[in-house]
Amino acid sequence: MNEMWEEVPEESEQLNQLQPEDTLDDRGIDDVLDEGYSPPERPSSLSRYGEHETLDQRLAEEEPEVWQREEAGDYVDDGEVGDRRAGRLVDPNGGSGEDVDSELLGADVGIDGAGASAEEAAVHIITFL
C-alpha cells in the first residue's frame, strides 16, 4: 500500500481551523476563534436576478417602509407588554431544595449589578387593572 495514504490524521485535526501562520490572510490576531464573525447587514446582491429585470421584478424586491408594515389589522394590543423591566427572577426557596410546585414561580429580587442577559432584558412586569 502507498505510504502516503497510510497516515490519516484524526478527525479533530481535520476539522481544526487554520491558524494565521498557516493562511495567507494575516489580521494580527493570535487565535482565529477570537476574531468572531459579523454577518452582512444586507442580503447578498448575488441572489438578485440580474441587469435586465422587468419592472414587476424590481417592484417585488422593494421592502415597504416601516410605517407601512404596521397596519391596523396586523398589530394586536392585548396588554401583554409591560413598561417596567423586571430584575432577576429567583425561585421562592432561593434555588435550594427540591422543587415541589407544579407551577413556575419566581420572585423579582432586583436588577443585578452586571448587564442583563437577553432573556432577562426581555422580561417585563405586567400590571392588571
pLDDT digits (tens, 9 = 90+) for 30-73: 777 766 666 667 666 666 666 778 888 888 877 777 765 555 55
Report the number of distinct structural domains present in the chain: 1
Give the domain range for residue 101.
Answer: 84-125
Assigned domain for 12 exists: no
Residue 18 is predicted with a pLDDT of 72
Assigned domain for 112 exists: yes
Assigned domain for 119 exists: yes
Residue 89 is predicted with a pLDDT of 76
Assigned domain for 102 exists: yes
Residue 19 is predicted with a pLDDT of 72
Question: Is 84's pLDDT higher than 70?
Answer: yes
pTM across the whole model: 0.28
Assigned domain for 120 exists: yes
d(CA 34, CA 24): 18
CB atoms within 10 A of CB 86: 19
Helices (H) and strands (E) in the chain, counts: 5, 4
Using DSSP's 3-state secondary structure scheme, residue 108 falls into strand
Assigned domain for 92 exists: yes
